[in-house]
Structure 1
Amino acid sequence: MFDPKKLEQVAKQIHDSMPQPVKDLGNDVEQKVRQVIQAQLGKLDVVSREEFDVQTQVLLRTRQKLTALEQKLDELEQRLNTDRQDD
């Protein structure tokens, strides 16, 4: 769901901003930071960018179909009104 490279980058930035004694603890701190970030992000009600893009395309196609159906309905209504006027 989340880009592991971006997660690594954020964890590294947090690790790099820590005081030197904390940094000396090494990879353990970075791993713990990564775990905390993953846990917190997992609690959020979000979707991946890929899923968002797919749903955006679905919505676009649905909107296009709706527009086409509205135009057909308008044409049919006009024909019906014209036929009624001719009677």
Structure 2
Amino acid sequence: MLDPKFLEDISGKISALIAKTPAADIEKNLRALLTAQFAKLDLVTREDFEIQKELLARAQARLAQLEARLAELESQRKAG
């Protein structure tokens, strides 16, 4: 659900900031904390979002076709 590259980028930046400190566990703990917090946000990747956006567009187009067909059939029924 989370983009691993995004977490790696944040982790890398934090690592660079604390590389000279004696606290080696800070990075590991902070990464775990960030992962847990992002998981609570129920985020999706851009790729998943774009896929769902395309599926919705297709569904809307199909619905428009079906509505037009239904209107056509109803008008034929009233005329006939």
Q: Is TM-score (shorter-chain normalized) higher than 0.5?
A: yes
Number of aligned positions between the proteins: 80
Mind listing any 5+ residue stretches in structure 1 that lack a counterpart?
Answer: none
In the superposition, the TM-score normalised over structure 1's length comes to 0.70
Share of identical aligned residues, percent? Answer: 38
Q: Deviations over 1:25-77 (max 9, x none)?
A: 25422222111100111122222333222221221111111000011011112
Q: Map 1:2-81 onto structure 2 (within 5 A).
A: 2-16=2-16, 23-25=20-22, 27-81=24-78
Distance 1:53 1:35 in 2: 28
Mind listing any 5+ residue stretches in structure 2 that lack a counterpart?
Answer: none
RCO comparison, higher one (Cα < 8 Å, 6+)? 2
Deviates more, 1:9-18 or 1:35-44: 9-18
Which structure has the greater CA radius of gyration?
A: 1
The structural deviation recorded for 1:14 is 3.9
Letter of the 1:13 partner, please give it: K
Q: Tell me the C-alpha RMSD between the 2 structures.
A: 2.3
